[in-house]
Amino acid sequence: MKKFDFLVIGSGISGLTFALQASKFGEVAIITKKKLFDCNTDLAQGGIAAVLDRHDSIDAHIKDTYKAGSELGKKKVIRTIVEQGSDLIQFLIDIGTKFTTDNKNLDRSIENLSLTREGGHTQKRVVYAADSTGHEIMFALVQACRKNSSIEIFEDHLAIDLITQHHIPQTENFITRITCWGAYVLDEITGEVNIFQAKKTMLATGGAGQVYANSTNPEVATGDGFAIAKLAGSRIANMEFVQFHPTAFYDTEGDSFLVSEALRGEGAVLRLPDGSTFMEKYHKQGSLAPRDVVSRAEEFEMRKRNLKYLLLDATKIPKEKLNSHFPFIKKRCAEKGIDITKEPIPIVPAAHYFCGGILTTEDGCTDIKNLFAAGEVACTGLHGANRLASNSLLESLVVAYRAGNHSSLKNEIEFPEIPEWRIIGDFNENEWIVIANNREIIQKIMQGYVGISRSKRLLKYADSRIWNIYMEINNFYQHNPVRKEVIETRNMVIVAGLIIRSALIRKESRGLHYIIDYPDKDDKNFKKDTII
């Protein structure tokens, strides 16, 4: 057993920010299933939305967020998070984040930061670090955590289950509310399962893009936090709202990567392979329309014309700006044989971000006592039915910071006697070989039947297939020692089921959820969260 005051599961912007704040009140353990930089935050290119310009306003940012979210967001939550944006940008600057300035000779004080505009925003309010904003933020946060003597980092550790009274039967008679006392954690190097006991646990595990065949997410994004929270009894909200990023690099060998929305913010234009534009037919903001509009338009054009990809033309952007603002994209495209200063980039929409997740407050509090959640794994109500560009890092930062300063962190709690993880028999290699390909099958089912456009018939078909896969995997999980691949596949199939069931419940089209059986919004019956 490893005893800490606070346990952080995940190493992105939410997890590390919470760890730094909570370390003021006790000892913190950070567990991450690969290395610290293996997370969605590190891949984030665009930036963080915050009101920093005198021409902008809090009310304008709130309005843009609520509108992009198809009027499903919670205005109180939106205001709370937007109002703290500038203070948390300053927090990142203070720990060493090097954002881009308007002039390289200027110091990086908040008034000198360069701002850009992205889809759905009416003002320039996105602060960035070239086209590697997430990596720059991660570098500063990781350095700060490594220097902090109250924080211990455990790489190659995967959370299997949250420890609740489900594992401790003798507590059921006198504890009525589900309570978390830490997690059972697999050490991927030794194969041992350890107890990480903690007064408070923060789930900051990111998203679940790997449940789809085409995704901008890294391999670690298998929905672990969604799954273990649901297994523990937490409510999950709005999982039908999966954001597909309109511009992922199209690669015939599947080696895709994100092409930042900021490129369109600087003037890049979406085109058909014949060079003609098309977005003006779908939205007055054209290529800078909100992501749900752009992704649906792209899918429609690709299906209508039987196209495998579309084009993003950045050739009208000055070469100096492409070199200074988008070095990562320029380099990656060059590796694929594309000179973005002279030719357009082949792109496709790809699964990118989950607007739903574990139901939380703006302080990260969940249904489960002593359990917090922040970042993509959480659903605060900020995004509604569609996330406004660059609001994700903002939400992650603000909610994690607030959770890390929550008054309950100072409370003392009593721990029950936590049993060791029960190891069952020997791993059945022959049986696992038969069902190991379920991971790929899950991805194909979700991509084909639960993508940008959906139908009731195909959702029901997907539900039936996913349920059968779940039964197979869960049966294997219950009768064999744990391994990383088994846990991840279990988590993926649980998340896939949550998405499908949520999509079947919402009998309207809103934001990221478009279902051909119900093509219109229905404010009377469905202007509310889908909670399962």
- What single string gives the DSSP state of each residue in 49-108? E---STT--HHHHHHHHHHHTTT-S-HHHHHHHHHTHHHHHHHHHHTT----BSSTTS--
Domain count, the chain: 3
Domain boundary among 335, 350, 365: 350
Q: What is the pLDDT of residues 57-72, one digit of tens each?
A: 999 999 999 999 999 9
Q: Looking at the structure, do residues 28 and 138 belong to the same domain, yes or no?
A: yes
Q: Looking at the structure, do residues 337 and 363 belong to the same domain, yes or no?
A: no
Mapped onto helix, strand or coil, the DSSP state of residue 336 is: coil
Q: Looking at the structure, do residues 183 and 164 belong to the same domain, yes or no?
A: yes
Q: Looking at the structure, do residues 346 and 359 belong to the same domain, yes or no?
A: no
Beta strands in 293-332 (DSSP E): 310-313
Contacts by 109-118, CB closer than 8 A, 24 or more apart: 110/52, 110/86, 111/52, 113/52, 113/89, 115/52, 115/53, 116/47, 116/262, 116/265, 116/266, 116/325, 117/265, 117/288, 118/46, 118/47, 118/49, 118/261, 118/262, 118/264, 118/265, 118/288, 118/389, 118/390
- Does residue 88 lie in a domain region? yes
Q: Looking at the structure, do residues 228 and 164 belong to the same domain, yes or no?
A: yes
> What local confidence, expressed as pLDDT, does residue 175 receive?
62
Rounded to 10°, the helix 133-147/391-404 angle is 20
Domain with 263 in it: what CATH number? Answer: 3.90.700.10
Which residue is it, tokens 């779908």? 282
Q: What is the mean pLDDT of residues 229-245?
A: 97
Burial category of 91 from C-beta neighbours within 10 Å (exposed 0-12, middle 13-18, buried 19 and up)? middle
- Does residue 505 lie in a domain region? yes
Q: Looking at the structure, do residues 48 and 130 belong to the same domain, yes or no?
A: yes
Q: What is the pLDDT of residues 120-161, one digit of tens each?
A: 899 999 999 988 899 999 999 999 999 999 999 999 999 999
Instruction: Give the tokens for residue 54.
Output: 């005198």
Q: What is the pLDDT of residues 177-194, one digit of tens each?
A: 899 999 999 999 999 999
* Single-letter amino acid code for the residue at 424: I
Q: Looking at the structure, do residues 16 and 123 belong to the same domain, yes or no?
A: yes
Q: Which band of pLDDT confidence, cut at 50, 70 and 90, is reported for residue 174?
A: low
- Does residue 183 lie in a domain region? yes
> What local confidence, expressed as pLDDT, does residue 265 receive?
86
> What local confidence, expressed as pLDDT, does residue 52 receive?
95
Domain hosting residue 263, numbered range:
247-350
- Does residue 81 lie in a domain region? yes
> What local confidence, expressed as pLDDT, does residue 172 receive?
56
Q: Looking at the structure, do residues 198 and 92 belong to the same domain, yes or no?
A: yes
Q: Looking at the structure, do residues 455 and 490 belong to the same domain, yes or no?
A: yes
Domain with 114 in it: what CATH number? Answer: 3.50.50.60
- Does residue 153 lie in a domain region? yes
Domain boundary among 410, 445, 480: 410
Domain with 510 in it: what CATH number? Answer: 1.20.58.100
Q: Looking at the structure, do residues 400 and 479 belong to the same domain, yes or no?
A: no
Which residues belong to the active site? 291
Question: Does the predicted model carry a pTM greater than 0.85?
Answer: yes
| DSSP designation for 344 | P
> What local confidence, expressed as pLDDT, does residue 106 receive?
73
Mapped onto helix, strand or coil, the DSSP state of residue 393 is: helix
Q: Comparing C-alpha atoms, which of 15, 24, 18 is closest to residue 159?
A: 15
Mean of all residue pLDDT scores within the chain: 94
Domain boundary among 350, 367, 383: 350
> What local confidence, expressed as pLDDT, does residue 173 receive?
56
- Does residue 434 lie in a domain region? yes
CB 137 within 8 A of CB 92: yes
For residue 31, what is the enclosing H or E element?
A: strand 28-32
Q: Looking at the structure, do residues 397 and 495 belong to the same domain, yes or no?
A: no
> What local confidence, expressed as pLDDT, does residue 171 receive?
60
